[in-house]
Structure 1
Amino acid sequence: MHVKKGDLVKILAGRDKGKQGHIIRAIPKENRVVVEKVNLVKRHQRPSPAYPEGGIITKEAPIHVSNVMIICSSCKKPTRIAHKFLDNGKKVRACKHCGASLD
């Protein structure tokens, strides 16, 4: 996957198109990510120790990773990812616009 937990991303498609948020959780097996305050759904919750009152709760649902684009921290633009190799042989993600490292 081209994004990781904690990355700032922009939503490219769906009802939340244009919104930005940080990735809370990545689910690589399903190619999905959970972005904070994006794709909110309401779920009925039975009373449990975690939710003693139960009721209807609002939480983030996963969206497909192809519908998000990472935002570069230095140029503040949504960008595709390039891969660069450092002198020590380590592979890092880089911005296609400015070349800055994203890791």
Structure 2
Amino acid sequence: MDRKVHVKRDDKVYILTGKEAGKSGKVLQVDRQKGRVIVEGINLVTKHKKPRSRTQTGGILQMEASIDASNVMLVCPKCKRPAKTGVRVQENGERIRFCKACNELIGSQSKAKKK
């Protein structure tokens, strides 16, 4: 079952909790089933990678780990601050996110399901 995630790929987000609290970054990946997001440059972990073939090199890599979607807040493109968001359904059935602070539209979400 998919969880509701209020951010999409390429959104700029602000980290609310954890060791990276107060930082911001761009969303690289969203896992809707687990309700987690991967943010660029945030929550870096070290992986020890073993070479699998002669051409592939191993080594110690740093990569981003996922964080829970509830720990991030979308940054409004207009007011440049972390803000709560809402969803409006247009007449044509399109769902549009908006910033509750400045009432600015953020972008299209998806088509609403017709009943």
TM-score (norm 2): 0.83
- SS of the residue aligned with 2:47? strand
Q: Equivalent of 2:42, from 28, 38, 42?
A: 38
- Equivalent residue number for residue 79 of structure 1: 83
Tell me the CA shift for residue 102 of structure 1. Answer: 1.1
Instruction: Provide the rounded CA distance (Å) in 2 between the counterparts of 1:101 and 1:42.
Output: 38
Query: What amino acid maps onto 1:61 in structure 2?
Result: A
- Equivalent residue number for residue 16 of structure 2: 12
Q: Equivalent of 2:103, from 84, 99, 103?
A: 99
Query: What amino acid maps onto 1:52 in structure 2?
Result: Q
- Equivalent residue number for residue 52 of structure 2: 48
Q: Name structure 1 gaps, 5 residues minimum.
A: none
- SS of the residue aligned with 1:102? strand
Tell me the CA shift for residue 87 of structure 1. Answer: 3.6
- Equivalent residue number for residue 58 of structure 1: 62
Tell me the CA shift for residue 89 of structure 1. Answer: 3.1
Q: Name structure 2 gaps, 5 residues minimum.
A: 108-115
CA RMSD, aligned part only?
1.3
